[in-house]
């Protein structure tokens, strides 16, 4: 099987490519334009594999997307390329609309044109997998979970742009018959995550003795999913999911943000006993909340478990320890990021009141 993965140098995309190369015999083309969040270092372990190929392609460039699709002739497109950082979407929403909405439309159109020219058997085999987020559903109260039938109610420019892309994917299935499958996941964490996100930001700030910023009172709840579990889920959905269907993927590991931060601090206290900043919890600092910050996310992942047999292998306790260990063992990876694309500054306060 020949697979195009868009955004394959990003956090989740690189985990998907590593899993494809290690667990299957598929050939992969990574389409990534290498923005601040795209990091070829995350693919170092498989970069020399003869089944891995890379094209520096911007999905906002329709002609480049068409050329890549027609040239590689995939059996499957896994679309993960996106602007994903909520705080950045508050400061600059235009990039999110262009990449997440226009870029997705470009990919769908390129895929449709390619698919229309395939023979009958190849048409039947082809899939377009659109990868999205649970944030399109908005915010939950103290009870309940998101499912595949939850109405959309996005609250940030990021989640609105992803909701728009989800609707495009559905429309290309319903209108043109393009065999599209969609997935919506909960919060990911694990190796190679860009350090603007909560867990790597807390780990790295703690190691450097910087403040550990917690939005509001830290009571916001997220369902945490280890990225390698998510990668396995995405491959299952892409290869065995039913066209026209949506699959929600979650870890069933709800935690308050403040509890996540305290857990990371406790693990660092244990694993970095020589740190001059112990106890690291003393660095916790509550800061102005993000505008429109959703209170709680939780995923009902029973459909993917029932239909595709997927379950997470990592508990939050096992996954977060492995994650902290990875950052401790891979200082060169994150030091290069901190020296260039992101230095730990606070984003997303534009328009705050």
Please state the φ and ψ torsions of residue 286, each to the nearest 5 degrees.
-85, 130
Assess whether 158 carries a catalytic annotation: yes
Sheet containing 254-256: order of strands: 187-189, 221-226, 254-256
In order of 40, 181, 270, the CA distances from 89 in angstroms are 24, 26, 36
Q: Single out the catalytic residue among 83, 135, 228, 300.
A: 135
Known active-site residue 95: no
Give how far Cα 20 sits from Cα of 58, 339, 340, Å.
Answer: 22, 30, 29
Task: Name, in order, each residue with C-beta under 8 angstroms of 311's C-beta and a sequence gap of 6 or more.
Answer: 305
Reference 28, options 49, 44, 42; nearest CA is 49
Instruction: Measure the CA angle with vertex 17, ends 43 and 46; round to 5°.
Output: 40
SS3 readout for 39-59:
CHHHHCCCCCCCCEEEECCCC
Find the catalytic residue in 27, 109, 134, 166: 134
Output phi, psi for 221, to 5 deg.
-110, 135
Q: Give the CA angle between residues 230, 181, 81 to the nearest 5°.
A: 60
Give the active site residue among 52, 158, 215, 342. 158
Q: Does the annotation count 135 as an active-site position?
A: yes
Enumerate the β-bridge partners of residue 256. Answer: 221
CA angle 6, 7, 12 (to 5 degrees): 115
d(CA 191, CA 323): 6
Catalytically active residues are 134-135, 158
């Amino acid at each position: 099987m020949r697979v195009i993965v868009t955004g394959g140098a990003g956090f989740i995309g690189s985990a998907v490519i590593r899993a494809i190369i290690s667990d299957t015999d598929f050939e992969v083309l990574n389409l990534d334009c290498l923005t601040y969040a795209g990091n070829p270092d995350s693919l170092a372990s498989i970069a020399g594999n003869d089944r891995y190929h890379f094209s520096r392609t911007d999905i906002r460039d329709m002609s480049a997307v068409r050329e890549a699709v027609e040239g590689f002739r995939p059996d499957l497109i896994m679309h993960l390329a996106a602007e994903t950082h909520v705080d950045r979407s508050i400061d600059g929403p235009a990039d999110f609309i262009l990449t997440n909405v226009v870029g997705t439309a470009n990919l769908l159109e390129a895929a449709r044109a390619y698919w229309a020219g395939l023979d009958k058997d190849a048409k039947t085999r082809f899939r377009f997998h659109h990868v999205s987020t649970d944030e399109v559903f908005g915010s939950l109260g103290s009870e309940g979970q998101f499912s595949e039938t939850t109405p959309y109610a996005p609250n940030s420019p990021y989640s609105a742009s992803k909701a728009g892309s989800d609707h495009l994917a559905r429309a290309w299935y319903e209108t043109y018959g393009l065999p599209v499958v969609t997935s919506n996941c909960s919060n990911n964490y694990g190796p190679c995550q860009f350090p603007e996100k909560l867990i790597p930001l807390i780990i790295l700030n703690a190691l450097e003795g910087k403040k550990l910023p917690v939005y509001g009172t830290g009571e916001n709840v997220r369902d945490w999913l280890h990225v390698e579990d998510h990668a396995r889920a995405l491959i299952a959905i892409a290869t065995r999911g039913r066209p026209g269907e949506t699959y929600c993927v979650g870890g069933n590991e709800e935690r308050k943000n403040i509890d996540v931060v305290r857990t990371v601090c406790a693990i660092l206290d244990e694993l970095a006993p020589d740190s001059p900043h112990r106890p690291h919890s003393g660095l916790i600092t509550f800061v102005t909340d993000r505008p429109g910050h959703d209170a709680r996310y939780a995923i009902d992942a029973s459909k993917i478990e029932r239909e595709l047999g997927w379950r997470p292998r990592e508990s939050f306790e096992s996954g977060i320890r492995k994650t902290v260990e990875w950052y401790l063992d891979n200082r060169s990876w994150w030091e290069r990021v901190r020296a260039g694309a992101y230095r730990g500054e606070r984003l997303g306060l534009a328009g705050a009141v």
